[in-house]
Chains A and B, each alone.
Chain A
Amino acid sequence: MIQFLRQFWQNAAAGLVLAVLAGCASVSPEEQARRDRVLRDYEGGLTALRAGDYATARSDLDAALLVLGANTAGDASARESRGYFNSESVKTFRGEPYERVMAWYYRAILYWMDGEPDNARAALRSAAVQDTDPENGKVQCDWVLVDYLDGLATAKLGGDGQDAWRRAETNARLNRPPPYDPRANVLFFLEMGRGPTKYAAGEYGEQLRFHPGSAPDPVAVIRTAGQTVRAGAFDDLTWQATTRGGRVMDHVLQGKAVFKGATDAAGTAAIVAGTAVAIAGNSNASRNAGMGIALAGLLTKVVSAATTPEADTRQWSNLPNLLSFAALTLPPGDYEATVEFQSPSGQTLVTRQAKFQVVAGRDTVLFLSDRNS
């Protein structure tokens, strides 16, 4: 009898391992790569933007934003990610709201660079829509630059940007944005540090959490044409990533985690009880009943093992931690600018230089980061 049980458990364990390994590889690597394409486009677009390869940046960000703009209702990958036996990361990557906002923000910079401030404003307004309250679904955009630049574009296009400026001023935690100067024609978009990183917490990794990002150089000092402008940070991506509140998906993952824990405990109990009955049984019927209970327990354990409540920790890995902006007024001509990214104590940690041309009738837009890629 004991020999039989030993053989049974060996076979069952082998079958379990094989089945779990085979059964849960639910998405092929090629398909998963397709579902991660937006992530690659985000990262590639930003790398290109930092390198001054604006055509590639445009192309990558446009490809990503096409996916962001599409309706997700009926998306097969999203449905799969909500299932018990697929992890959240099988869904087509779109990013958390702070990542989606950044995609639109960078695209807005490129539109502005191309002399299309109204399309830049449109992109900023789409960015604002990404920042919603998950509890009631209302827009709660508290990105200072998203509102501030919306108002600046409106003012430059002859409209009244004061509502947007007031929203920006209300949400300003780090530095107060300056009043608009519609004559300002050289716009510096600046960014510092490394953004927040995602990790999975909880017993089964079902909780999405963030390690804070960091920026040792939160101040940018711009020197050009005899002017020196000190630009502090207006937006903090760590703040944005960690203050949005819970996601609807968190409830789904919590449900998966509870199911996983409950089936695991029930399976263990059934195996122990069934095995005890099978060993202690004094008849074939009682031994068979015990074996049946143990087998049911085993199946329950398999179901538990196959349940995947892990939160999706795929992330836009080259985002900055802080965003800044400055606007200068310069007459037409050729210029050079030096931007020093400084620590709070005034020590210059990174220096960037840029050559640019100011022409009448349109804004000159410069994007400078303390990172290379």
Chain B
Amino acid sequence: MACAGLLCGCASGVQNPSGVPVTVLKPDEQGFIAGSGIESQDLVAVTDRMARSLPGTPEIQNFNPPPPRIVLLPVENETRFPINKDLFTTRMRALLNSQAQGKIRFLARDRMTALEQERTLKQEGKVTSNTDPNVQEFKGADFFLTGKLQGLTTQAKGGVSDYVLYSFQLIDPRTSEILWENSAEVKKQSVEDAAYR
């Protein structure tokens, strides 16, 4: 009996053997499953900050004739975290479109293939058109909006620390001037269990 009692201690058990029910979290809060990488709360905080800052730029506010038209360029990822970079520009575009109330227009350059096909169909008379399809109506960009993610990783005995700098720029394509720039930075560290060191 004593032996059996002692060895019952060997049975290590499993925490939450039945699992944990689905937990709904806000995208701007840190969940209980986290690493030191780029997470939704970082994306939300960074894009919120950029979308608040951009419309106040004098070049945007005083653009004549309004509204200024912006093309999104792909974000450059120089961190150690592979990520779908379009998430940043997509969320910024959605915030600006919903909050700026037409003061800014984005051009759908990522849909150019479909747009050109549609125009060709109209030019060939295969589909109807309310305007003259031979007149060039695709807009050119007044500004480019782009960004860059850069990282710095530090390691020590116990774990890893990751710093990520998120910077976004509004560029005048005519002059190459950077008209607006803002940045946000996030630093995280995580400690490894000794079993994995």
Partners in one complex: yes
The number of residues on chain B lying at the interface, defined by a beta carbon within 8 Å of a beta carbon of chain A, is 44
Q: Are B193 and A75 closer than 8 Å at their CB atoms?
A: yes
Q: Are B157 and A137 closer than 8 Å at their CB atoms?
A: yes
Q: Are A126 and B6 closer than 8 Å at their CB atoms?
A: no
CB distance from B85 to the nearest CB of A (A): 8
Q: Which residues of A contact B12 (CB under 8 A)?
A: 26-27, 80, 83, 85-86, 90
Q: Are A19 and B7 closer than 8 Å at their CB atoms?
A: yes
Q: Which residues of A contact B158 (CB under 8 A)?
A: 137
User: A121 CA to B36 CA in the complex, in Å?
Assistant: 18
Q: What 0/1 pattern do residues 126 to 168 of B give for CB contact below 8 A with A?
A: 0000000000000000000000000101011111100000000
Q: Are B6 and A303 closer than 8 Å at their CB atoms?
A: yes
Q: Are A126 and B81 closer than 8 Å at their CB atoms?
A: yes
Q: Which residues of B contact A23 (CB under 8 A)?
A: 4, 6-11
User: A306 CA to B61 CA in the complex, in Å?
Assistant: 74
Q: Which residues of A contact B10 (CB under 8 A)?
A: 23-24, 26, 85-86, 306
Name B155's contact: one of A26, A69, A139, A295 (CB within 8 Å): A139
Interface SS of chain A: helix
Q: Which residues of B contact A85 (CB under 8 A)?
A: 7, 9-10, 12
Q: Are A22 and B4 closer than 8 Å at their CB atoms?
A: yes
Q: Are B193 and A125 closer than 8 Å at their CB atoms?
A: no
User: A132 CA to B116 CA in the complex, in Å?
Assistant: 51
User: A80 CA to B151 CA in the complex, in Å?
Assistant: 34
Q: Which residues of A contact B197 (CB under 8 A)?
A: 134, 247-249
Q: Are B195 and A118 closer than 8 Å at their CB atoms?
A: no
A299-B14 contact in complex given A72-B193, A82-B194, A107-B82, C-beta closer than 8 Å = no
Q: What 0/1 pattern do residues 1 to 31 of B give for CB contact below 8 A with A?
A: 1111011111111110000000000000000
Q: Are B36 and A72 closer than 8 Å at their CB atoms?
A: no
B83 interface residue (CB < 8 Å to A): yes
User: A138 CA to B155 CA in the complex, in Å?
Assistant: 5
B191 interface residue (CB < 8 Å to A): yes
Name A27's contact: one of B14, B36, B77, B193 (CB within 8 Å): B14
Taking CB as reference atom, which chain A residue is nearest B195?
A78
Q: Which residues of B contact A247 (CB under 8 A)?
A: 197
Contacts of A78-131 to chain B: CB distance below 8 A: 78-83, 85-86, 88, 90-91, 94, 107, 111, 116, 118-123, 125-126, 128-129
User: A353 CA to B11 CA in the complex, in Å?
Assistant: 53
B120 interface residue (CB < 8 Å to A): no
Q: Which residues of B contact A20 (CB under 8 A)?
A: 7
Q: Which residues of A contact B76 (CB under 8 A)?
A: 118, 157
Residue of B3, B79, B156, B193 with most chain A CB atoms under a 10 A cut-off: B3
Q: Are B15 and A299 closer than 8 Å at their CB atoms?
A: no
A302-B193 contact in complex given A27-B12, A111-B82, C-beta closer than 8 Å = no
Q: Which residues of A contact B2 (CB under 8 A)?
A: 295, 299
Q: Are B3 and A19 closer than 8 Å at their CB atoms?
A: yes
Interface SS of chain B: loop
Residue of B2, B80, B81 with most chain A CB atoms under a 10 A cut-off: B80
A360 interface residue (CB < 8 Å to B): no
A119-B155 contact in complex given A20-B7, A70-B35, C-beta closer than 8 Å = no
Taking CB as reference atom, which chain B residue is nearest A132?
B155
User: A70 CA to B39 CA in the complex, in Å?
Assistant: 11
User: A18 CA to B7 CA in the complex, in Å?
Assistant: 10
Taking CB as reference atom, which chain A residue is nearest B5?
A19
B185 interface residue (CB < 8 Å to A): no
User: A123 CA to B37 CA in the complex, in Å?
Assistant: 12
CB distance from B40 to the nearest CB of A (A): 14
Q: What 0/1 pattern do residues 163 to 184 of B give for CB contact below 8 A with A?
A: 0000000000000000000000
Contacts of B72-88 to chain A: CB distance below 8 A: 76-83, 85
CB distance from A312 to the nearest CB of B (A): 9
A16 interface residue (CB < 8 Å to B): yes
Q: What 0/1 pattern do residues 55 to 80 of A give for CB contact below 8 A with B?
A: 00000000000000111111110111
B33 interface residue (CB < 8 Å to A): yes
Q: Are B4 and A18 closer than 8 Å at their CB atoms?
A: yes
User: A231 CA to B37 CA in the complex, in Å?
Assistant: 35
Q: Are A123 and B6 closer than 8 Å at their CB atoms?
A: no
User: A90 CA to B7 CA in the complex, in Å?
Assistant: 17
User: A130 CA to B137 CA in the complex, in Å?
Assistant: 52
Q: What 0/1 pattern do residues 50 to 94 of B give for CB contact below 8 A with A?
A: 000000000000000000000000001111111101000000000
Give 24 pairs: A residue, B residue, CB < 8 Å, sorted on A.
Answer: A15-B1, A16-B3, A23-B10, A23-B11, A26-B10, A69-B35, A71-B36, A72-B196, A75-B195, A76-B15, A78-B194, A85-B10, A120-B82, A122-B79, A122-B80, A125-B151, A126-B81, A132-B155, A137-B155, A137-B158, A247-B197, A249-B195, A249-B196, A302-B7
- Other 17 A-B pairs with CB < 8 A, given A71-B192, A78-B196, A82-B195: A22-B4, A72-B193, A73-B190, A73-B193, A83-B12, A88-B195, A107-B82, A118-B77, A118-B78, A119-B83, A121-B78, A129-B160, A132-B155, A138-B156, A248-B194, A249-B194, A302-B3
Q: Which 10 A-B pairs have the closest CB atoms?
A: A23-B7, A125-B80, A78-B193, A137-B157, A78-B195, A85-B10, A248-B197, A119-B82, A19-B3, A71-B190
Chain B residues proximal to chain A, CB less than 8 Å: 1-4, 6-15, 33-37, 76-83, 85, 151, 153, 155-160, 190-197
